[in-house]
Amino acid sequence: MSVRQDADLPHFAVVGRPNKGKSSIVATLARDDTVHIAARAGSTKSTRRFPMQVDGETLYELIDTPGIQRSRQVLAWLRSHCKDAAARPAAVQQFLAEHAGQAQFADECHALEPIVAGAGVIYVVDGSVPFGGDYEAEMEILRWTGRPSLALINPIANSDYVAQWTTGLGQYFQTVRSFDAHRAEYRKQLDLLTLFGHLDPEWRQPLQRAVDVLEADRLRQHHEAGETIAELIYDGLTVTVEQAVPEGAPEEPIRKLLFTRYQRQLIKRERSARARVEELFYYRDLSKSEQGIAFEEEDLFHQENWYLWGLNRKQLLLAAGAAGGVAGGGAGVVVDGMTGGLLGGLATLAGSIGGAVASTRSVLRHADDIARWTVSGVPTGGNRLAYGPSRNANFPFVLLGRAMQHHRAISQRTHAVRETLKLHEPALDWLEDKDKRRLARIFDDIRSAKRVSERRAELSQLIKAWCEAVDASG
């Protein structure tokens, strides 16, 4: 795939006053979570370019700029050096030439330089503060550049003054839109690109191509995420760990060790799947955000949280019944009806991936409800003790629920957001009963090593479709 030359790229300078959400707009439209966003005004000190790339091709470029702070002085200078409207763009160029490197107008020069060089203008204001005439000087300066422009009203705290801003901005800009950088859904971002293409005929074709490429890329993201989640669930259904037990050695410490290894292996696999999904949606710095991710890894084996991720007691009994695997039937899948809906009989585990798990007694008491223990002889003496694969009916649903909730949160999140990812509702509430039964049959066949290739492909297709449907459901 060819890479466009910089001179041919649509590029947009994002300008406005300090602390109005310019960097948030850049992060969202460039899909780049490395853009520095700070609550402190004036945190952007110089221009920085953020290309939007897919498969090595740069589709467009966003330029983050410092906040304009001395617009009245700049406009006064321009008016004193310009006699007619036709000379206004040249006057702006002259201002830059005479003030380059001067501290007094450093921010204004940084903001205007890319515009004079050919960038389009995205002017950002905060819709939660009143419109004021003192903004008109900076808007007039931007109009003097003669570049195609649009204004975005970013409602940072609320939308109380959006109507005021819409009226005021409409007198200076060709197009005005309300655009919440933290909540703008995927389609609204593409609509903004299309809109800018209509403002400059030279950019219409490249921006339409950008929209087409991004739509195809979005479909790829969902499909590859679906494949990743399906592989995670397959691993959760088939992982086995084993250890030789010397003749005469006690088995109980080995059982505890194997159960711990089993947990760690699946936790590591889940972590890897999440990292892959985040990478697919261009999150390069998510683990370094202010608070990180609220999906605790040890919760994968925490029974008190299973009702959030998997199925409740009634749902699981119906689904497992359809698969013929209840309480020792079929493949011997465990459905624990004595837990009041918290199915699986898992011990409450403490610590992180590298920390301690539950006590030996608790581990051994509940381990049989998670996976199978098998013991086989070793020709040289002693036994080989194995733990796995999973035999718990709810466990693959828990993996699915956690993975789909993570996918939804990541795919619907804009790159301007820095808060913790949180679970707000049971993860599989959207799943229809017929799909729960179908999944139970798929899971049972994979456990039993029946039609494995066919069932894996079926599982992958189902999850891909559910991932893709996230955009339709919003």
* Interval 34-43: pLDDT, tens: 888 765 544 5
For the whole model, what pTM was predicted?
Answer: 0.84
Please give the structure tokens belonging to residue 316: 């699981």
Residue 222 has pLDDT above 90, yes or no: yes
Residue 362 has pLDDT above 60, yes or no: no
Residue 108 has pLDDT above 70, yes or no: yes
What is the full DSSP assignment across 177-226? EE--TTT--HHHHHHHHHHHHHH-HHHHHHHHHHHHHHHHHHHHHHHHHH
Place of tokens 């837990």: 339
Residues with Cβ within 8 Å of residue 435, at least 6 apart in sequence = 462
Residue 363 has pLDDT above 70, yes or no: no
Residues with Cβ within 8 Å of residue 405, at least 6 apart in sequence = 295, 309, 423, 427
CB 307 within 8 A of CB 358: no
* Interval 67-89: pLDDT, tens: 888 999 999 999 999 989 999 99
pLDDT bucket at 322, cuts 50 / 70 / 90: low
Just give the CATH number of 7-199: 3.40.50.300
Residue ranges of domains in the chain: 7-199, 217-473
Q: What is the mean pLDDT of the chain?
A: 83
Whole-number Cα distances in Å, 342 to 328, 393, 433: 19, 12, 19
Residue 348 has pLDDT above 50, yes or no: no
